[in-house]
Amino acid sequence: MSKSQGSQQGMVMDFGEIKQYLQPLLDNFLDHHYLNETTGLENPTSEELSRWIYEKLAKAGLPNLHAVEICETCTSGCTYYP
């Protein structure tokens, strides 16, 4: 998320609001699903997964979306910037 100025509470967006956009992706495509069978994720690397999630969130209209970061471990991951 990116915004030049946060809310009065000091945050760009409440996690509950973000969850409204992310939860359908988790429920319908990612959580307990075989990623290789998901259109656009035939090769589900972290890089491809972060791109795919970004594109879905952008299409759903998540405001102030700047990038998507996927962490495989505490020291390994990737960030997708369009």
pTM for this one?
0.84
- Residue-number span of the structural domain to which 51 is assigned: 19-80
On whether residue 71 sits in a domain, the answer given is: yes
Span 4-53, pLDDT tens digits: 555 556 667 788 889 999 999 999 999 999 999 999 999 999 999 999 99
The total of other beta-carbon atoms located within 10 Å of residue 79's CB is: 14
Q: How many domains does the chain have?
A: 1
| Angle formed by the axes of helices 15-25 and 46-60, nearest 10° | 110
Strands of the chain (E only): list them. 68-71, 77-80
CATH number at residue 35: 3.30.479.10
Q: In this predicted structure, what is the pLDDT of residue 15?
A: 86
Query: How large is the average pLDDT for residues 65-73?
Result: 94
Would residue 42 count as lying in a domain?
yes
Instruction: Please check whether residue 7 lies inside any domain of the structure.
Output: no
Residue 44, in any domain of the structure: yes
